[in-house]
Chain A
Amino acid sequence: MKNNQTINESNKLKLGPMATLLVGDKGGQRLVMALVAIAIIFPFCNLMFPEDSIFHVSTYALTLTGKYLCYALLALSVDLIWGYCGIMSLGHGAFFALGGYAMGMYLMRQIGERGVYGNPDLPDFMVFLSWENLPWYWFGFDQFWFAMVMVLLIPGTLAFVFGWLAFRSRVTGVYFSIITQALTYALMLAFFRNDMGFGGNNGLTDFKDILGYDLQSAETRSVLFFASAMALIFGYLISRFITKSKLGRVLVSIRDAEMRTRFLGYKVEYYKLFIFIVSAMLAGIAGALYVPQVGIINPGEFTPINSIEIIIWVAIGGRGTLFGAVIGAIAVNYAKTYFTGAFAELWLFMLGGLFVLSTLYLPKGIVGAVKSIKEGNGKISRLYFFLKEKIASIKGGA
Chain B
Amino acid sequence: MAFVRPKHLENEFALYLDGVNVSFDGFKAINNLSLCIEPGEMRAIIGPNGAGKTTMMDIITGKTRPDSGTVLFKNNIDLTQYDEAEVANLGIGRKFQKPSVIESLTVFENLELSLKGTRGVLQALFYRLSHEGLTKINDILELINLAEKRDDTAANLSHGQKQWLEIGMLISQEPELLLIDEPAAGMTDEETMKTAELFKKLAKNHSLVVVEHDMDFIAALECKVTVLHEGSVLAEGSLDTVQKNQKVIEVYLGR
Binding site for B on A (CB under 8 A): 242, 245-247, 249-250, 252-253, 255-257, 259-268, 270-271, 274
A253 partner residues in chain B, CB cutoff 8 A: 102, 105, 113
B125 partner residues in chain A, CB cutoff 8 A: 242, 245-247
Q: How far apart sit A241 and B192, CA to CA, in the bound complex (Å)?
A: 42
Most buried by A among B93, B125, B127: B125
Selected contact of A249 from candidates B83, B88, B93, B109, CB within 8 Å: B109
In the complex with contacts A264-B169, A274-B121, A247-B100 CB distance below 8 A: no
Q: How far apart sit A247 and B109, CA to CA, in the bound complex (Å)?
A: 12
Q: How far apart sit A101 and B100, CA to CA, in the bound complex (Å)?
A: 45
In the complex with contacts A242-B125, A257-B100, A267-B113 CB distance below 8 A: no
Q: How far apart sit A122 and B53, CA to CA, in the bound complex (Å)?
A: 68
A252 adjacent to B105 (CB under 8 Å): yes
In the complex with contacts A268-B85, A270-B121, A260-B127 CB distance below 8 A: no
Q: How far apart sit A256 and B216, CA to CA, in the bound complex (Å)?
A: 33
Most buried by B among A256, A259, A265: A265
In the complex with contacts A257-B101, A260-B100, A260-B102, A247-B127 CB distance below 8 A: yes
18-66 of chain B: CB within 8 A of chain A: 61, 63
A274 partner residues in chain B, CB cutoff 8 A: 121
81-138 of chain B: CB within 8 A of chain A: 83-85, 88-89, 93-94, 96, 100-105, 109, 112-114, 119-121, 124-127
Q: How far apart sit A245 and B122, CA to CA, in the bound complex (Å)?
A: 10
A242-B125, A260-B102 are known; give 18 further A-B pairs, CB within 8 A: A246-B127, A249-B109, A249-B112, A249-B113, A250-B124, A252-B104, A252-B105, A253-B102, A253-B113, A256-B102, A256-B103, A257-B102, A262-B85, A263-B61, A263-B93, A265-B119, A266-B119, A267-B119
Chain B residue nearest in CB terms to A241: B125
A264 adjacent to B101 (CB under 8 Å): no
Q: How far apart sit A263 and B123, CA to CA, in the bound complex (Å)?
A: 18
B226 partner residues in chain A, CB cutoff 8 A: none
Q: How many whole Å from A5's CB to the nearest CB in chain B?
A: 16
- Report the count of interface residues on B (CB-CB < 8 A): 29
B124 adjacent to A264 (CB under 8 Å): no
Chain B residue nearest in CB terms to A320: B104
Q: How far apart sit A268 and B100, CA to CA, in the bound complex (Å)?
A: 16
A-B contact list, 16 entries, CB within 8 Å:
A245-B124, A250-B124, A252-B105, A253-B102, A257-B103, A259-B100, A260-B101, A263-B61, A263-B84, A263-B85, A264-B173, A265-B88, A266-B85, A267-B119, A270-B120, A270-B121
State the majority secondary structure of interface residues on A.
helix
Q: How many whole Å from A136's CB to the nearest CB in chain B?
A: 34
B119 partner residues in chain A, CB cutoff 8 A: 265-267
Most buried by B among A246, A257, A267: A246
Chain A residue nearest in CB terms to B109: A249
Q: How far apart sit A259 and B83, CA to CA, in the bound complex (Å)?
A: 12
B121 adjacent to A271 (CB under 8 Å): yes
Selected contact of A263 from candidates B88, B121, B126, CB within 8 Å: B88
Q: How far apart sit A153 and B125, CA to CA, in the bound complex (Å)?
A: 21
A252 partner residues in chain B, CB cutoff 8 A: 102, 104-105
A246 adjacent to B124 (CB under 8 Å): yes
A271 partner residues in chain B, CB cutoff 8 A: 121, 124
B126 adjacent to A245 (CB under 8 Å): yes
A265 adjacent to B109 (CB under 8 Å): no
B103 adjacent to A262 (CB under 8 Å): no
Q: How far apart sit A259 and B41, CA to CA, in the bound complex (Å)?
A: 27
Q: How far apart sit A246 and B117, CA to CA, in the bound complex (Å)?
A: 12
A264 adjacent to B88 (CB under 8 Å): yes
Q: How far apart sit A349 and B109, CA to CA, in the bound complex (Å)?
A: 43
In the complex with contacts A247-B121, A250-B124, A260-B96 CB distance below 8 A: yes
